[in-house]
Each structure stands twice: as C-alpha cells, then as structure tokens.
Amino acid sequence: MSIKIVKQGVLTTLQDGGRNGFRSMGIGAGGAMDIFAMAVSNFLAGNYEAAAVLEINFPGPEILFQQNAIICLAGADLSASANNDPLPLWRPFFVKKDSVLQFKKPVHGARTYLAVQGGWQSEKWLGSYSTHLQVSAGGHLGRALQKDDVIFFKEENFSLTGDKTLNWHIPYKETEKIYQPANSIRCIKSIEWNLLDEASKQNFEKNEFEITNQSDRMGYRLNGSSLLSDRSTDLISSAVDAGTIQLLPDGNLIVLMADHQTTGGYPRIASVIKADLPKLSQVRPGQKINFKAITVTEAEDALISMEQVLTEIKAGCRLNFEKYFQP
C-alpha cells in the first residue's frame, strides 16, 4: 500500500503529534504545526489523533496513489483534486488506485494535512514519526519529500459495505470555533513583559503585525511598529515553547512555532495560547495579525473548549465508521 511523489511540493513532510521528553537534551517536540487539523484529519480517516500525516504547503506535491485508499484533507484550502475532480476539506473520501492528487491554488490557510486510513509508515526517532529537519531524522529519511519518493501506508482495517459512500464531515460551525476570527491571536503576558516601555505595551495590542517571508516552521517573524525596552537588560538563555513571543534586538517580534529551539536569550514578552496556535499556523506570509492579551484562566478555558470539540469529533467519527464500515 503506497503512494509515489510524481512532483515534489514545497516542504511536504511527515509529521505527527511530536516527540516529548527530550527538551533537557535540546530536542524540541516538533510535530504538526496545526495540531487541530492533524487530529481531525486522522479521526475522519479512522486513525488515532496523532498518527503520522503529510503536512503540505503550497505549491503542493502531485501524488500518485498506487493502491485504493481512504483519505482525508484538513486545514488550508489548497484546491485539492483527484483526477481533476475537486476534493472537499474536513471529509473522508475513497481514492481509487492510479488516482493523482493535485493542489492547484491556495484559497485560504497556509498548510493542509493529508491523513490515510491506517496511517503513513515512516521512520521513528525518539518515539515520534515527525520529520526533524535540523538533524535529518524521523519521517522519510529526515527530509522533505522529493520526486519519486514512495511512501507506504498500512493496510486498511475497514472495507466498504456495499455501495455506501463516506458522507460524514465536519461542519463549518465547528471549525470556525478554532480558526475564527482568523487574524485575532490571543496571548498571555509573559515573564519579561514589563521590560517593554509603556508606549510599546500599548502598541503591542493596538497595532497589526505582518507575517514576513522569513517565517518558517521554527518561527514566524513579524514586521510592525518597533517595540522598545525601557531599560537595557542582559538576559540568561531561558526555556521557551511553541507560541513564545520574543522581542528581537531590532524591535521586531518573532513567534516560536513547532520546530523552535528549546532555550532563548531574547525577552519573552508574551505567549500565544495553545488553543490559537492552529489558527496562527494557518496565517500566510504577507498577512497581518493582531494580539489580544487574556488571562491564564481564559487561556485554560479556550484549551478545554478545543479539547471538547476534538472529543466530540472523535466520538462522531467512531460512530460513523461503525455504521458504514465493517472489519
């Protein structure tokens, strides 16, 4: 059971829920940038939430399915099609052998996730199948997928019953809870917030910041009103996490993302809440965001709310698989 990369895209990698427990050795968790889309694509494909998926940016790859497969796309709308037939997001579908999957143009969002029933097979490193590009480990040969790569997936655990189609999906009202409003990113003030002068504290929340072309899986560099410290401070390199917002020496900001380093010496003025990291990961270079500071309690409530949505989706997908498929 396999696919073949007919035409490589820009940084198509195998990712999962990430590797935990190795930060003391300088190895971050990594994993999918958009953990919500990763989990939902897996649920809809009949997998557990953190199974390996393909993380696809635009321009996307051209993929030949060498066997029948049940797949699901979630996240960004990159105008996916199979044999030129449009494929919807947030819905499982059956792809026949010799079908060619393409991504024609970006409509909204930055990256989409392709899950296959049974899960993609890849190299496991430190308990995770995620590709770690910096050390060339995990995923497929520790790198982005290239032309002529063959990626295997496990044999189907389910088979279609009669001529029934896969007609369940995630409605927009569920996904908008996670991704809307698209440009408003909630955060909590962090340990070095008070290093900012008063004008910069106000500008942080009042002004927009543009995602620059220097952004990647390690961090989103932002361009906007320069923020200044009211005093010169030499900082000891300290722990950082996905979502940490650091103040750079030139007055601009960087938001650390999935492949971030484990420590940093720049002031940590705030941190994007975990529930808004999926939303932030779908913002493309050239687009603008604004920050809204909230309390820790509000951040916890938002994370609980996202987890409740995932729990409901998981339960619904399980019922549908029991209804439409047989072992």
Q: Is the pLDDT of residue 233 over 70?
A: no
Choose among 23, 18, 20, 48: nearest CA to 35.
18
Which residue type is seen at 6?
V
Percent of the chain with pLDDT over 70: 94
pLDDT of residue 167: 80
Which residue type is seen at 160?
L
The domains located in the chain, with CATH, are 2-176+307-326 (no CATH), 184-294 (2.40.100.10)
Cα separation, 295 vs 285, whole angstroms = 28
Exposure string of 204-237, with b = 16+ CB inside 10 Å and e = fewer, is beeeebbbeeebebbbbbbebbebebeeeeeeee
Does residue 301 sit in helix, strand or coil? helix
pTM, to two decimals: 0.94
pLDDT digits (tens, 9 = 90+) for 271-321: 999 999 999 999 999 999 999 999 999 999 999 999 999 999 999 998 888
Cα separation, 98 vs 259, whole angstroms = 34
Read off the pLDDT band of 168 (50, 70, 90): confident
Cα separation, 10 vs 264, whole angstroms = 28
Percent of the chain with pLDDT over 90: 82
Within 13 Å and on the Cβ side, how many CA atoms surround 266? 20
Mean per-residue pLDDT, 140-152? 97
